[in-house]
Chains A and B, each alone.
Chain A
Amino acid sequence: MSGDRQGTPHWFDDEAGPVVRPYAMTRGRTSTAGQHRLDLIAVVVAQPHAAGAEADHALSPEHLDIVGLCRDTPRSVAELAAELDLPVGVVRVLIGDLAEEDMVRVKRPVPPAELPDESVLRDVIDGLRAL
């Protein structure tokens, strides 16, 4: 980047991205209370009783979009961010809100310290070969 070469470590104009406007949806929050950082491949599922989410006026349209997307098909955090065209950080906060309200469940992937079972890895290999 030309800015870097001139010794300025900052990004200007469009290069800086849409600064913080997307965080208006989270009312400026970048995390929610008592929440571990959600992995990009954590899976989000709408709770059966979330069908009435539309009636909850505390929820924003983006919250409702997430509930709608996860209603029939569980979706990963990365997929939700891509489909809603929102930064991952924003989507994490919104999912945290919904989890707190018990509108969605979040299934975390295998803990980082451990590899999945050997049988799972074998299934992955067989599955890849069969593609």
Chain B
Amino acid sequence: MIFGRSERGRAPVEPVTLKILVAGGFGVGKTTFVGAVSEIKPLRTEELLTEAGRPVDDLSGVEGKHTTTVAMDFGRISVREDLVLYLFGTPGQERFWFMWDELSTGALGAVVLVDTRRLEDSFAGVDYFERRGIPFVVGVNCFDGADRYPPEDVRQALDLDPGTPVVLCDARDRASVKDVLVTVVEHAMRRSAGHRAPVA
């Protein structure tokens, strides 16, 4: 154990880490989406929460507090040895929204996955990222057997800002998911260029 892979005197590379969030309603394909591009099988991390999700300094007298766990699935893409992108599926249930604040802090951007048969399930995600000014892309997951709608129709139905990209995708397909992620990063770049320009 002491003789690891790292060579003597050579510190392991510490990568720059980035994250993109994958939001959307229950069963819309978030974990499938993450799994399609992740180099690892999506891992599950859990957070233990007190009733109101408030941070507590210690848990003495905790008998009267109710706790629950929130699961977040995530995957990893090593862009380079020193550059790693993490994809986090956001917890679906509304009562865990406060977890999104933690997840979205420092996020490069987000994908809101949409099932056109249950469009309303995505309203919460769209609303959340719009309000916080987090660059996001709407990915319409084209389920087998579901009617196809042009992206413009989805845009209208969701009342999106004109700049928000809408892309059709297949959460099971690696190439398709890659395209969605590229769109997110490009969108984030445009947004940041737009923000920087007036300052310069």
Seen from chain A, the residues whose Cβ lies within 8 Å of a Cβ on chain B are: 9-11, 15-20, 22-23, 28-31, 37, 39-43, 45, 48, 51, 68, 71-74, 76, 78-79, 81-83, 87-90, 107, 109-112, 115-116, 118, 120-125, 127-129, 131
Contact = CB atoms under 8 A, between A and B. Distances in A.
Interface string B43-87: 111111001000111111010001111001010110110011110
B4 A128 contact: no
A118 B185 contact: no
A78 to B, nearest CB: 5
Interface string B174-195: 1000100110011011001100
* Of listed B17, B68, B103, residue having the most chain A CB within 10 A: B17
A20 B188 contact: no
Contact of B19 (A41, A72, A87): A41
A128 B193 contact: no
Contacts of B106: 39, 41, 109-112
Contact of A120 (B12, B16, B58, B186): B16
A31 B57 contact: yes
Interface residues of B, number: 59
Please indicate which of the listed interface residues A82, A89, A127, A128 has the most CB atoms of chain B within 10 Å of its own CB.
Answer: A128
Interface of B: 1-2, 4-6, 11-19, 37, 43-48, 51, 55-60, 62, 66-69, 72, 74, 76-77, 79-80, 83-86, 88, 102-103, 105-106, 108, 174, 178, 181-182, 185-186, 188-189, 192-193
Contact of B88 (A16, A30, A40, A127): A40
Contacts of B5: 72-73
Contact of B6 (A23, A72, A79, A120): A72
The secondary-structure label for the interface of chain B is mixed
Contacts of B108: 115-116, 121, 124
B47 A16 contact: no
A72 B4 contact: yes
Given A78-B74, A128-B182, A20 B86 contact: no
